[in-house]
Amino acid sequence: MEVVGGVIVIPVGSFQKFLAVVSGCRGYFLDRLSLERIDNVDALEIGLRWGPEKPDMTLAFRDVYFSVIEWTPGPGTAPLDQVAATLLEPSDSPWPEGLAPQLVRSSSLPMLVWFRTEGPVHISVLAAIASVSLEVM
């Protein structure tokens, strides 16, 4: 773990750390989304905010294979009801139920993390690289 610009960066060499942090994101509010191409690689960042009681966090995904973001228009925001992440080993098996990228799953793909949220915003991301940055309080 290192501090960069007042933010604790947790490198996720092993997806297990990422999965552990994500399990505590339920109840956070979506603060921002950023989808970009960086060095010819798709990158998605999701900013989450709780309030003064808990640190803000940014979930960053690189080598994004699939992403879907849906929300209902209207005033106000609501906290995320469910937040989950699953580690998907390389496999020739079908994708898990609820995940339908326009990509054939194969054992030649790298290990991937499938991140998803439910609530006022539905997000589904399939990526090869995932990291978490936490605000220093």
Distance between CA atoms of residues 17 and 40, nearest Å:
26
Q: Which residue has the higher pLDDT, 93 or 77?
A: 93
pTM: 0.83
Is the CA virtual torsion 18, 11, 47, 45 positive or negative? negative
- According to DSSP, residue 22 is labeled H
Tell which residue, 70, 95, 98, has the closest CA to residue 84. Answer: 98
Q: What is the pLDDT of residues 38-72, one digit of tens each?
A: 888 899 999 999 988 998 999 999 999 999 998 87
Give the start-end residues of each E strand in the chain.
2-4, 7-10, 29-38, 41-49, 57-71, 82-88, 112-118, 121-135
**Side chain identity at residue 117, one-letter code:** T
Domain positions in the chain: 7-135
Q: What is the pLDDT of residues 89-115, one digit of tens each?
A: 899 999 999 898 888 999 999 889 999
Distance between CA atoms of residues 115 and 29, nearest Å:
16
Q: What average pLDDT does the structure give for the chain?
A: 84
